[in-house]
Structure formats: C-alpha cells, structure tokens
Amino acid sequence: MTKTGKVWSGTAPAKVNLYLHVVGWRDDGYHLLDSLVAFADVGDVLTLEEANAPRLTVTGPFGGVIPAGEDNLALRAVRRLAAAVGRPDGIAVTLDKRLPVAAGIGGGSADAAAVLRGLATLWDLARDDPRLADVAAGLGADVPVCLAGRTAWLGGIGERLDPGPDLAGMPILLVNPGVPLSTPDVFRARSGGFSAEARFAEARPTPERLCTLLAGRGNDLAAPAMSLAPVVGEVLAALAAQPGCRLARMSGSGATCFGLFDTSAAAKAAEAALAGRGWWAAAAALL
C-alpha cells in the first residue's frame, strides 16, 4: 500500500477457506463455524482519495456487476468509520474489481476491510485501534478476518480470530466457473448434523503436511453448493486432475474452488489449462 498526501491505494486479497466446518448454530439462527482462513496474493485494488462527499467508482473486469449505490459495503465502511472516529466522510473510493463476485473468496467483505485499512492510514489511526475492529464486526461476518489480512483460525460467526500457521509462499490456484452463489442460499440448502472443530498445532507445515492435515477436514458447504451449482463439482474434478495438484477444495460458500500445488510452475500450467475451459483462473501464492 502507499500513501501520497491524501491518496491511498492498496489490495484486497482473496480470502481462502482451507477448510470450513459448520459446528452449530446460535439462538438467533446464525451458524457457528470453524475454519482455517488464508489469503492469496491476488485481489481487488482500491484507491481512496479525500473528496467533498463519499462516492464509489467501480472499474475492472468484474466491475459491471457491482452496485455502486449507498448500500455498497465499501461506502458503508467509509461512513461507519468516519462516524466512529469523528471525521468527515468525504472519501472517493475507486474499486478495480479483479475477483469474481459472490464467489466465496471475500468479495465485498475484503473490499470493505481494505477501505478500513486505507482510512486508518489516511487518518493516522493505529492498526490496532479498537474502533476499526468494531466497525468491521458490524459490517459482516467475513470483514474482521479480512481486516486482519493474515492466516487465522476463525470461530463463532467470524468474530473469533486466533493466529494461524505460517503458510506464506505455498502455491495455489483459484478457479471460478462464472456462476455466482448466494451465501444464505447455500446455508439454507445444507442438511444434516454438525462437524467438530478441527484445528491443528503445526506452526509451519510443509505443503505436503498441510495437504495431509486438510485431507482429514472438509468444507461442509460444498455439497449444498453443488446441489445449487453442479458445475462446482466439475471444477473440483478438473483441479484434482491437474499435474502437481495435492488438494482440490471449494472455498467458503463457493463457487470458487482452489488447488494446492507442488510448485508455482505447476499451478501456472494448470491456470492455462483451466482458463481454456472458459473459467476464471488465477495462479497465486499464499501470503
């Protein structure tokens, strides 16, 4: 990220649920989760600039499907943090939307978190200012972990965060078939009981060890997502068949899937192969 006068620019990296267990629900109907969340070095790009009034401009390959009105999560982040810290909310936000929408990899939550980080820089707020966390929690379940922006164990409905293992540099390929999935719809389609929490102790697992550990865990939303969008199963099968892919899994509520690879070269070769099927694909590394 950079700060030049009254302008800030930074990235909203893709969020990846390496596993996701639904472990219960609360009396208010929200599901309780257990997940290992990591971030990839590919994402949307946001620019913030002081202006007379808050406004949002959306560009990029996926910009055409993003509403730029008052309810956009990025603008809500501006207004809520401004109110919390007593600052004018005149911030112009430019969102270069490079990640698919409604895709299970952070989306609007990652963008809102990036806005909060940018405003903290522009307004000279400490990174651990509790008002940032309070605003993030009020914006959505995924915003707190996206605000932290590092590998974390996630619990509760997303508000409980603990430092996760060091996975930096591990090659990953993200693939999305171009079918949006609504998170509430996927949760409604889920049936059956609940899974157990499944955290592990290794602080720096090798890629081989990580995949062994993840193989004993899963994504409890994959089956309901595939019932709504069968193409998710096609993506998972295609990923698993790529040379060098150690593990193929869906992230979040879908429809984006990911593969963990032996090498960056193998991930890049798989990117070319799967993009050739008309899917969005991006080889990256975990942050």
User: Which residues are designated catalytic?
Assistant: 15, 142
Cα dihedral 116→119→123→129 (10° resolution)? 10
- Contact between 228 and 185 (Cβ < 8 Å): yes
- Contact between 229 and 209 (Cβ < 8 Å): no
Distance CA 195, CA 84 (A): 38
H or E segment and range at residue 24: strand 7-25
Distance CA 22, CA 32 (A): 6
Distance CA 287, CA 277 (A): 28
Task: Report phi then psi at 68, rounded to 5.
Answer: -105, 20
- Contact between 120 and 129 (Cβ < 8 Å): yes
